[in-house]
Structure 1
């Protein structure tokens, strides 16, 4: 969707002046700054924005960092990629993703690799994924209905990982073998202090990464030696050539595939569990969704066209990602000192544009804590057309797999709604753990009933 441009005003200067001061805030303790509070407190940004305003400084993961929580400020950061800002990640994330990962590449290399990977997310490719997504989803649902009582979050993690493994590297049931176990342990170290000791999460994740790369190397070498490397994401990468016409190296292929598995799994699981939580808490929304699904042809296979007709489901998913965005913000580094809203952003400092705070702006979203899918109704002043809505980031580095994620969310939502009634069990902690992506602390325990057999 196009995002309306916001003019750069005098408040957003491209160069600093001698009068510009640093943003308000505190740098916290020596070395660790406010890192522990950031990792543990879901309201870290909200509380400090209320105290200091929409732009404030802190110290995270080893360096001073500025939080940007306003719509105009986020637009400034995203519109000036490679001019004043460059993508950045915490040290633990950089080391675990790998230096050749698309997430860390910049400039022309990033652009060229992004064009290659984008082929795996074009409409024709997406249409070819539907049958696989649907089949894996339905197999999980049948098992859930047999079990009846379960913690849904870990189940959804297995579902999304199985889909990612099948569609990206051609592997069946990835979550049910050692690859899935090692991958989960690797994920746990992505946003931690980079203390490389055997007993730390980061230290364990470094070892898990080494094991994962060995397994991926075996898969990649088999594809490279095959006359037909396949049409999935790995096949595209194996056949691709860089700017001088040579094939991508083995080390880069491993880093890119590892990133694809992470991107097609972690944040997508978060959005799905948020959908199940919020719809389960709002039976009126569920009733409207079911009424819309009743208009789908009986037993007809899902298609891109039929899914596009589900306009209320689209509204619900947009509101889910507004209330609980799967990514809390984006990391950048200042590469040229500049001025934002009268504050100086020094070269070398970190910047985080804060998606969760954007989505709580009462000027764009009246009563922002209320779950209201009609905010995104057709014909309304749709906030998704502005920089006040950014669940997939924005600018040159907007999430490459956005349409893949939206497609999978719709398929899972449709099949769950058609087959399942679910009740969220009482006496559980539904507060959100937010690192690396939001999910209910107790895993969202539910009791399920097969609505197809209800008399």
Structure 2
């Protein structure tokens, strides 16, 4: 990795060992970024997943990156992630195809669709709250993981009790391989995840084919996706539909679990916030169904949730490929 036509140097940092770089440390050390930020600052170089990489952190860096999307940067993922998400997944599509598919999938998240999901989410939430009240003492993260997986599998596939089925263990093993060294040997994390992906897709395909035989698809996101049409009046082909459902399960489950767990932890440390949250909730009838309109009136709750996301983001970072030489913070960021 060399600089060209620039007066600025590469950021400080280490490229690590030959070939593997710092990949092993990146995957095994939870404090990988924190240690390097203390040593080098918020811009530093490394070498992970077989590619020389520059890390950028902070509000200004994110603003620079997002405001130059498709000019200096394009979205990308490590090889392991691309393979396990699938070639037809929205996350790995680019350009006009990505834009078309994003508009199509967005139909499942329009206000009218969200309003239809609300009763299901409310019923399932009440059931879990009763369960947690009976337990009395619990560990939040695994309980919330089951809760969000049940909701995601119900809304995205129409499957009930997903957390208590083989599907949940397959999904958990698949997630573990998303960011891994892409060696498809039977005993590697990636190899295990690859096998789980095939089993997950078989399960999703069975559900899709069954739903396509029904006159009424159901009140969930899968119904909308089964009926969605692109600009040429074409529906999603089966292989792509499977990849998109798998992506929705991941996006609607993993990050949500992390965010809710952080919310529970942080408000438990700030009793004054809990008091204000409870006062706001007293304005709403506990026996009336939840609605989009009532949610909009929970302004303090929304502020707290946004502060939780700012303070402890459920996603630690994202990947971009540099498609044109650029500079930031008096450092060179070369193409590639």
8 Å Cα contact 2:10-2:332 kept in structure 1: yes
Alignment match, 2:304 = 316
Match of 2:224 in 1: 236
Displacement after TM superposition at 1:228 (Å): 3.5
State the alpha-carbon separation in 2 of the partners of residues 84 and 283 from structure 1.
Answer: 45
Structure 2 unmatched ranges of 5 or more: none
Instruction: Give the whole-Å Cα distance in 2 for the aligned partners of 1:45 and 1:142.
Output: 39
Q: 2:201 aligns with which of 200, 213, 225?
A: 213
For the Cα contact (< 8 Å) 2:4–2:334, is it kept in 1?
Answer: no
Which SS does the other structure have where 1:66 is aligned? strand
TM-score (norm 1): 0.70
1:278 and 2:291 are equivalent in the alignment = no
Residue by residue, what CA displacement relative to the aligned partner does 1:276-335 show, whole Å, maximum 9, x if unpaired?
111122222212211222222342222222222222212221121122110011110112
Q: Which residue of structure 2 aligns with residue 106 of structure 1?
A: 94
Matched, 1:38 2:23: no
Matches within 5 A, 1:80-91: 80-91=68-79
Range 127-136 or range 141-150, more displaced: 141-150
Q: Who is 2:239 aligned against? A: 251
What does residue 65 of structure 2 align with?
77
Name the Cα RMSD after superposition. Answer: 1.9
* C-alpha deviation, 1:256, in angstroms: 0.4
Q: 140, 144, 147: which one pairs with 1:152?
A: 140
Contact 2:89 2:247 in 1 (8 A): yes
- Residue 68 of structure 1: which of 56, 72, 81 is its match? 56
Aligned to 1:199: 187
Task: Name the residue aligned to 1:21.
Answer: 9
Distance in structure 1 (CA, Å) of the matches to 2:265 and 2:25: 26
Output aligned runs, 1:178-189, within 5 Å: 178-189=166-177
What is the Cα deviation at residue 28 of structure 1? 1.1
Deviation (angstroms), 1:173: 1.2
**Is the Cα–Cα contact under 8 Å of residues 268 and 326 in structure 1 kept in the other structure?**
yes
Give the alignment partner of residue 55 of structure 1, picking from 31, 43, 47: 43
Q: Secondary structure at the match of 1:132?
A: helix
> 1:161–1:174: 8 Å Cα contact kept in structure 2?
yes
Q: Which runs of 5+ in 1 are unaligned?
A: 1-14, 349-455
**Are 2:325 and 2:333, in contact at CA under 8 Å, matched by a contact in 1?**
yes
SS at 2:332's partner residue?
strand
SS at match of 1:291: helix
Contact kept? 1:116, 1:236, Cα under 8 Å: no
SS at match of 1:149: coil
Aligned pairs, how many?
Answer: 334
Q: 2:180, 2:190 within 8 Å by CA — same for their partners in 1?
A: yes
Could you list the per-position Cα deviations for residues 19-77 of structure 1 after superposition, in whole angstroms to 9, with x for gaps in the alignment? Answer: 23222111111222222322333332233223223221111121111111132322221
Equivalent position to 1:325, from 313, 319, 325: 313
**CA contact 1:83–1:336 (8 Å) conserved in 2:** yes
Q: Does 1:347 align with 2:335?
A: yes
SS at match of 1:103: helix
Q: Quick check: which one's helix share is greater?
A: 2
- Cα separation, 2, equivalents of 1:244 and 1:20: 48
Please state how far the C-alpha of 1:243 moved relative to its aligned partner: 4.5
Once the two structures are superposed, residues 158-182 of structure 1 have per-residue CA deviations (whole angstroms, 9 ceiling, x without a partner) of: 1111111111121111111111221
Match of 2:256 in 1: 268
Q: Deviations over 1:400-440 (max 9, x none)?
A: xxxxxxxxxxxxxxxxxxxxxxxxxxxxxxxxxxxxxxxxx
- Deviation, 1:118, is 0.8
Taking a change above 3 Å as real, the CA distance of residues 65 and 249 of structure 1, as seen in their structure-2 partners, is same
Residue 149 of structure 1: CA displacement?
Answer: 2.3
Conserved 8 A contact 1:16-1:338: no
Tell me what 1:396 maps to: none
